[in-house]
Structure 1
Amino acid sequence: MNRSTNRRLLATFAAATTLAFAAPAFAQEGAAAAAPDATVGKVTGDSLTIGAAGVYIPDYEGSNDYRFAPAPIVLAKWHGFGLQILGNRASVDLIPDRGQWNFEAGPIGVINFNRSDPDAIKDIRVARLRERGNAFELGGYLGVSKTGVITSPYDTLSLSVSYRHDLTRAHDSGIWQPSISYVTPLSRKLAVGINAQAQHVERGYANAYFNIGPIQSAASGLPQYSTDGGWKSYTVAAFVTHSLTGDLLHGFKIVAGGGYTRLLGGFARSPIVTVAGTPNQWLGAVGVAYTF
């Protein structure tokens, strides 16, 4: 397996990695909030991967009720530049690939659906809290990755940090997210990986999704509560992708992943979590994709 082939193989795996982290974001703060922002693996040469998946997600951030939702997968590579559309998250890598060391930078856009549809929330107390509009979060990321670091000349370790801000005043605040990912191909048909990340949110985010004022308390029956911004959560996850047609570089493949998110500090102590939900959040995604 040469290095160019390996980069293309790892890029197909990025769909499984990012999609599985996007899963909780459909019910929470947006796909980028639980997705690695730097591309996991690089493509040498042009390629296009499209697909769809079903994701298993909490009803809202902090819920102990779950539901299924659909998610699109689009990965494109052109002259070294990259595009990802995964669930409700889109990002672009504006720095062309160079070799063993690669740097990434570009914009991120996320549509945040957290608590924007009370009918999708099973817990009647949380459903009675003030409805939140969809938030459009726009920002950017910086990242670096190296191929050939631990198990073989073909594995990849990636580090990234991103920031995005709500432009629609649904929560009118910003989100910082550091992330580290490791992925390795086991063959031309199989690749696996792991990821860890954390989120630091500003005060507006806490006020929109975790605080409960007097009017909301009276409507829901949940006690009043207030917390500030800070480190909101951490996430760990694992992923796998397997070719259905003999080669991850072309044809159909299955992508799957699962992970665990833990809410922290004042966010974990909010009544929507301690009374109506849980700080322990689980997620999963299974889908099919095709690489041209």
Structure 2
Amino acid sequence: MKKTNLFSPLIIAGMATAAAAAFVPHSAIAEDQGTEEWSFETGLAAMYAPDYEGSDDYEIAPVPLLEISWNDRITLTTYGGPGLYAKAYGTEDFRVDLGIRYEGGREASDNDALGGLGNMDVGAVAVGAVSYEMGPMEIGLELAHDLGGDRKGTAATLEAEYAMPVFNGQARLTIAPHLTWVNEDYMDNSFGITASQAASSTLGLAQYDPAAGLRDVGLTLGVGYPVTDNVLALARVDYSRLMSEAADSPLVKDQGSANQMSAIFGLVYKW
């Protein structure tokens, strides 16, 4: 994963699981960190996103941005949710990253559709990612596995990102198609409805037992514009289409929407 790739959807696991998960866990500012041993970033963004994965109701939430990186090898960050990452292997074009991050779950009070279904905690998620750069194109694959909580799922996300200079070379535009496959545990806990949940659902949702499969496909557009030498303005818009078993869930088909949008805007200061 490139350090500049704030806008990558590699770790977006649905806006209901973590509002902060609109970022990849590496520096968003400089294309080249140079030889500096330490780098620091702090900022604030506002995110507009569904109130649960598959919802058609949206909310705005603040997203704090903080990152401390040492030699492009160890990174403590809030990008993508609070996490700690290490570059396990890297060449000029190829990179392997390992880490652990925290992802939020969902509350039954978040939306009327969730009434009676109970809360879903997620917590710690183990992450492994590989990426390969070919000029302005980068191809990446991330595997994420829940280490605790209620979801107990595994997700695999594949993306291809193309970056280009815009505004006379002063800014950077990224275009990234992506798709995510999830296992049965993830699908079950995020989109399924057990017999007991169906019995207690305030809206009378039917029991639903989905299988593993493609969760979504989508496209992300992002722009980073340097306001000063140390301040970067950020904007990102993502569209994802829930697929197959996820789209057929009563939480999506009856009470939400398979079309998922999100947007985020913010400022980051680097020193």
Matches for 1:132-171 after TM superposition, within 5 Å: 132-146=120-134, 149=135, 156-171=136-151
Matched letter for residue 196 of structure 1:
P
> Which deviates the most, 280-289 or 193-202?
193-202
Matched letter for residue 62 of structure 1:
G
User: Is the counterpart of residue 118 in structure 1 residue 118 in structure 2?
Assistant: no
Q: Offset at 1:224?
A: 1.4
Q: Which residue of 2 aligns with 1:231?
A: 214
Q: Offset at 1:264?
A: 0.5
After superposition, the Cα gap between the structure-2 partners of 1:77 and 1:29, relative to the gap in structure 1 and judged at 3 Å, is closer
Residues 74, 85 of structure 1: 8 Å contact kept? yes
Q: Which residue of 1 aligns with 2:175?
A: 194
Q: Which residue of 1 aligns with 2:223?
A: 240
Residues 25, 112 of structure 1: 8 Å contact kept? no
Matches for 1:171-210 after TM superposition, within 5 Å: 171-186=151-166, 187=168, 189-210=170-191
Matched letter for residue 65 of structure 2:
I
Residues in 2 aligned to 1:89 and 1:25: alpha-carbon distance in whole angstroms: 16
Residues 11, 80 of structure 2: 8 Å contact kept? yes
- Equivalences, count: 262
Residue identity over aligned pairs, in percent, reads: 22
User: Is the counterpart of residue 281 in structure 1 residue 260 in structure 2?
Assistant: yes
Residues in 1 aligned to 2:212 and 2:12: alpha-carbon distance in whole angstroms: 23
Residues 10, 178 of structure 2: 8 Å contact kept? no
Matched letter for residue 62 of structure 2:
P
RMSD: 2.7
2:33 pairs with one of 43, 66, 76? 43
User: Can you list the C-alpha shifts for 1:202-246, whole angstroms capped at 9, x where unaligned?
Assistant: 11111111111222112220111111011111121101111222x
User: Can you list the C-alpha shifts for 1:54-89, whole angstroms capped at 9, x where unaligned?
Assistant: 111101100000111222323445334352531415
Relative to the length of structure 1, the TM-score reads 0.79
User: Can you list the C-alpha shifts for 1:101-140, whole angstroms capped at 9, x where unaligned?
Assistant: 422112232323232x222x23x23232121123321121
> Which deviates the most, 43-52 or 171-180?
43-52
After superposition, the Cα gap between the structure-2 partners of 1:79 and 1:125, relative to the gap in structure 1 and judged at 3 Å, is closer
Q: Offset at 1:44?
A: 2.8
Residues 213, 225 of structure 1: 8 Å contact kept? yes
SS in 2 for 1:241: strand
Residues 258, 283 of structure 1: 8 Å contact kept? yes
* Higher helix residue share: 1
Which blocks of at least 5 consecutive residues in structure 1 are unaligned?
1-9, 150-155
1:272 pairs with one of 242, 245, 251? 251
SS in 1 for 2:187: helix
Matched letter for residue 33 of structure 2:
V
